[in-house]
Structure 1
Amino acid sequence: MSNRNRRSPAVAGVFYPSKKDELYDLIGLSFKDGRFGPGEIPPDKSQKTKKIFGIVSPHAGYIYSGAVAANAYYKISTNRFNSVIMIGPNHYGIGPGLATVKSGEWETPLGLVGIDSDLANSISEDAEILDFDELAHSRDHCLEVQLPFLQYTKTTQFKIAPIIMIMQDIETALKLGDSIARVTRTRTNEVMLIASSDFTHYESNEDAHRKDSELIDAILSLDVSKFYDTLERLNVTACGFGAIAAVMISVKALGATRGQLLRYATSGDVRGDTTSVVGYASIIFT
């Protein structure tokens, strides 16, 4: 495959190490972190494998949110899936309202991951609001930072359908979420959904915990109307709210009945500066 169809890492060396061995070691430390992470290297040792339809995972630098993110990846380490639909916010406002990628590969220091062209095409055709635009994905970190965790956790090959959102209103989330559910329900290959989002941005640690706790309650209930109401009422600055909503809609349609919060922490909890923090949550839908 030509390099023209390959997305090179945009934030390697910034959000996570650019060297393979250093990245692998840091992800391992995130899993072994007993305070904010699961405390163990995957696979999940609980021996209580249950169907997980999707997750919510943060996308900050690994030294801030890596251990929190590791919790959800630990739980899905024993789930079978061949494809991953990754949805996140478009931080740069580049490209159309919703953008995916038609073909190619995404590169990280841990290797290459192929695009699930059939899945991306099917969602785009069904939703009619999802366009193809590689440039929209070129600089953004929200989906890229999920890939090394998947590569570390998965022992079998998988492909991705990356979706990035400028438009995150409830109507757009409903259209996208419903389309994803329709498309994935008819596929023989199993699919994992990932909503990439941080929560409250740059407020006090106390306010972040208070606001995010209420918003997370709405997420766990799979009540999208309550989720948007809480988001607006408390002015929660969760950057990937539309991605979370779309995944909530999809997993509920596919059979999920609840969300489970595995870990919540702020950058202040992790690094010690509690004056202006960002919130991170690791959630699974079962």
Structure 2
Amino acid sequence: MNIRAPAVAGRFYDNSPERLESQLSDWLSSPQDPMPVKALIVPHAGYVYSGKVAADAYQYLRPISDKFKKVILVGPSHRYGFDGVAIPAADFFATPLGNIEIDRELSYALSQNALVAVTDQVHAPEHSLEVQLPFLQASLDSFTLLPIVYSKVTSQVLAELIETVWRDDETLLVISSDLSHYHTYDEACEIDKDTCQRIANFDMTLEPHQACGATGINAVLNLARARGYSLTEIDYRNSGDTGGNKERVVGYVSYLISAV
């Protein structure tokens, strides 16, 4: 059995199952009315910085925790540059909360495209997907996972790839992205305000300096607009708001994409 072990547990989030579960339970405890959620855009920094921003979106899954049987999780590669996208050969992704089974049906379907590489190397150190896994485990009932890491690919091509596997109401799409990086607090707030306005307008021309996962955001905006989905901003903060140095901050935002 091939299991992808956690790479950033103990650094980006707690490696104690008990403490991690307690933290997530506190963050996800606010009651929310059920919404026809189709996708999320959530940040991927260490939980001390961006965890609450992500949790504010994930908590909307709690009332519909039994709805989703599959999750497509998409994020940028931080360690490797390559053409196209990569999915893992692994059978499971592990976190301190347990193992998540990789969806072999969706993986096989996507692997038939020449732009898709099946490799564990790219996934092994990648944090942009890993930090989402405990949130998904705490928010949903049983589900399988299709992890997609992208590098050199256009948002249009990425959208087309996602479209081939994001086809039913039991499949949740999660896009992992932070916003601007390493500006002063005031500069970041200004840049991120403009970026969020562009996202709200379904502007699919975001660049990496506006969001490190710009390609993923552009792709989901493309798909959401084509399907007539709505977009709701849930929370915005930056690391200067959550305990970091205000001279070099990173921006974080979370969104719901829903059928109304």
Q: TM-score, normalised by structure 1?
A: 0.83
Q: AA paired with 2:184?
A: S
Retained in 2: the 8 A contact 1:102–1:121?
no
Matches within 5 A, 1:1-286: 2=1, 5-31=2-28, 41=29, 45-47=31-33, 49-79=34-64, 80-93=67-80, 96-125=83-112, 127-154=113-140, 156-168=141-153, 172-185=154-167, 187=168, 190-224=170-204, 227-228=205-206, 231=207, 235-236=209-210, 238-256=211-229, 258-271=230-243, 273-286=245-258
The TM-score with structure 2 as length reference comes to 0.91
Cα pair 1:178 1:253 within 8 Å, conserved: no
**Contact kept? 1:68, 1:280, Cα under 8 Å:** yes
Deviation at 1:122, TM superposition (A): 1.7
Aligned to 1:35: none
1:199: how far off? 0.7
Structure 1 residue runs without a partner (length 5+):
32-40
Per the TM alignment, residue 192 of structure 1 is displaced from its structure 2 partner at its CA by: 0.7
1:54 aligned counterpart, secondary structure? strand
Alignment coverage as a number of residue pairs: 256
Measured in 2, the distance between the counterparts of 1:104 and 1:255 equals 34
Aligned residues of 1:64 and 1:271 also touching (Cα < 8 A)? yes
Contact preservation (8 Å) 1:181, 1:253: no
CA contact (8 A) 1:137 1:164 kept: yes
Give me the CA root mean square deviation: 1.9
Q: Alpha-carbon deviation of 1:222?
A: 2.2
Secondary structure of the structure 2 residue equivalent to 1:136: coil
Query: Share of identical aligned residues, percent?
Result: 34
Q: Residue 106 and residue 130 in structure 1: after superposition, are their counterparts in 2 closer, same or farther (change >3 A)? A: same
Preserved contact between residue 208 and residue 279 of structure 1 (Cα < 8 Å): yes
Displacement of 1:245: 1.6
Q: Where does structure 2 lack aligned partners over 5 or more consecutive residues?
A: none
Residue 69 of structure 1 aligns with an amino acid whose one-letter code is A
Shift of residue 144, structure 1, vs aligned partner: 0.4
Spell out, residue by residue over 1:171-194, the C-alpha distance to the aligned partner (whole angstroms, 9 max, x if none): x22122123224322x5x611111
Q: Report the 3-state secondary structure (helix = DSSP H, G, I; strand = E; otherwise coil) of the residue aligned with 1:279.
A: strand
Letter in 1 for 2:9: A
> After superposition, what is the alpha-carbon deviation per residue over 1:76-122, rounded to whole angstroms, capped at 9, x for unaligned?
22332111111111000165531012450000000000111111222
Partner SS for 1:199? coil
The CA distance in 2 between the partners of 1:114 and 1:90, in whole Å, is: 21
Structure number with the higher helix fraction is 1
1:104–1:115 Cα contact (<8 Å) kept: yes
Q: Does 68-77 or 90-99 show the bigger shift?
A: 90-99
